[in-house]
Chain A
Amino acid sequence: MGPLSVNEIISPNTNLFLAFIIGIGFGFVLEQCGFSSSRKLAGLFYGYDMVVLKVFFTGGVTAMLGLLFFSLFGWVDLNLVYINPTFLASAIVGGLVMGAGFIMGGFCPGTSFCGAAIGKIDAMIFIVGLFIGVFIFAFGYPLFEALYKAGDMGAPKISSMLSISDGIFAFILVVIALGMFYVSEWVEKKFPREEY
C-alpha cells in the first residue's frame, strides 16, 4: 500500500500537510534533546557530549528497521521509496563544508531553526550565515556546477554493493551503531565537562 503519496492513497497536499506535522514533531524532539544549545552540539567534536550522535544514529537505525519490517509485512514497496542520488565527490566536499560550519557555528541547519524558535540569538545569526551561504551557492552556481554534478552514482545501496541482503546489512549497521554508543559513553567519561 505504501508509499502513500506515490500510490496516490493521499494527495500531494495531504502529503505536504503530513510533512508539516512531522516537521513540527522533529523540531520538538530536537528541542527536547537539548539540540537548541550549541554547546551541546559542539560537545560531539570535543567528546564531552555525544548525544547528537546517539540521537541521529538511533533515529536512522529505527527508521531502517521500521522500513524493512513494513516491507516484510507488505505495507510499503521499497522500490518506490525515493533514495537521494549519490554524488560522491560533492558529498565529500559538502560534508566537509557542513562539518566546518557545524564546529564554527555550533549548529546544523535544522537545529539552528530550533534554537532560533526559542529565541537564541546565536542561532539567528547562524541562520543569517546559512542564507549567505545559500545565496553564494545559488548565484555562483556556474562555478560549482561541475563539482555539484561530479561522480553521479545513481541511487546505490551499500547492501547491493556488498551483495548481501538488506536485512544482514541492517543487522551489521545496528551492531556498529550500538558499538558507537558504547564507545561514546566511554568518550564522555574520558573528556568530562561539568558546566556547559
Chain B
Amino acid sequence: MKPLHFLTLILIIPAVIIALVPQNTTHPYKLTAEQLLTEIRTGTQFVSPDELADQIIKQDPSIQLIDVRNPREFDQFSLPGAINIPLQDILSDRNDDLLNQSTKMNIFYSNGSTEANEAWLLTRQLGYQNNYVLLGGLNYWTETIMNPSKPGSFSPNDEIARYDFRKAASMKLGGGGEAALATPAQDKSTTAPKPGVVPVKKKKKASGGC
C-alpha cells in the first residue's frame, strides 16, 4: 500500500465520523461537586467583619463590596463603597466583567449570609475567583462592629483589644453608641468615595505560531 493511500485511509475515516456526530456544545462547569463541597466545608470564602472593617478604614482599593440585596434595601443602607447587584441579576452579562476578574477582591453581603453565599456559590461554580462572602452578613456586622458588646473586666487581653478595635471602627464607620454623636449615622456622603471598578479584559489564553 502506498503511503499516501494509507494516509488517506487514516484521515478520511475519523473525518467522516466527526462530520456525522453531533457537535458537543455542553459547557462543563469548572468545578466538580466534590471540589465545591471541599471549599464550602473549609469556609475559605468567608471574610470576617473585623477584617472587612479594617480594610474599609484603610480604604483598601483592592476590595469591592457587592450588595446582593434588592435596590430598595440597598438605598436604605449600604456599606461604604458598595455596589448593588441583586441576586437575580448575578448571572447577567453586564456583571460578568465585575465578577470574573483577577484584580479585586469582591465581597458579597446581604442581611444574613444566605443570599451572599448563594451568589458566591453561583460564581464559584462558574469557575470565577476572587469572590468572597461577608461572614454573618449585615446583621452580624451591626452586632459586632456597629454595636460591639463590652467584654467583662476579667476578659483576656486580645478580647479587650478586639473590643477597642471594633469601637474605633464603629466610630469611624458611623455606628451606634457614642459614635453616633460624632458622625451622622449611615450617611453615605460622609463615607469614603466609591472606588471605581475597572472592568478588566479577560486573560488571554496562551498564543502560539510557527
Contact = CB atoms under 8 A, between A and B. Distances in A.
A58 B12 CA distance: 12
* Interface footprint category on A: 35 or more
* Interface footprint category on B: 20 to 34
A90 to B, nearest CB: 14
Among B18, B28, B127, the most chain A Cβ lie within 10 Å of the Cβ of: B18
Contact of A181 (B7, B18, B206): B7
B4 A165 contact: no
Interface in B136-159: none
A137 to B, nearest CB: 15
Chain B interface mostly helix, strand, loop or mixed? Answer: loop
B21 interface: yes
B33 interface: no
B19 A82 contact: no
Given A174-B12, A178-B8, A15 B206 contact: yes
A167 B12 contact: no
A79 interface: yes
A65 B14 contact: yes
Contacts, number: 76
B48 to A, nearest CB: 27
Interface string B116-138: 00000000000100000000000
A166 interface: yes
Chain A interface mostly helix, strand, loop or mixed? Answer: helix
Given A6-B205, A74-B26, A170 B19 contact: yes
Contact of B205 (A58, A65, A82, A177): A82
Nearest to A82: B205
B20 interface: yes
Interface string B1-37: 0001001100110111011111110111010000000
Nearest to A83: B205
A84 B11 contact: no
Interface in B182-210: 204-210
A80 B26 CA distance: 12
Contacts of B24: 71-72, 74
A72 B205 contact: no
Contacts of B209: 84
Contact of B27 (A77, A165, A177, A181): A77
Given A65-B11, A72-B24, A181-B4, A5 B206 contact: yes
Among A61, A81, A174, the most chain B Cβ lie within 10 Å of the Cβ of: A174
A180 to B, nearest CB: 11
Given A77-B27, A165-B23, A167-B18, A109 B210 contact: yes
A81 B23 contact: no
A19 B206 CA distance: 10
B6 to A, nearest CB: 11
B15 A58 contact: no
Interface of B: 4, 7-8, 11-12, 14-16, 18-24, 26-28, 30, 127, 204-210
Given A69-B14, A79-B27, 4 more contacts: A19-B206, A77-B28, A178-B7, A181-B4
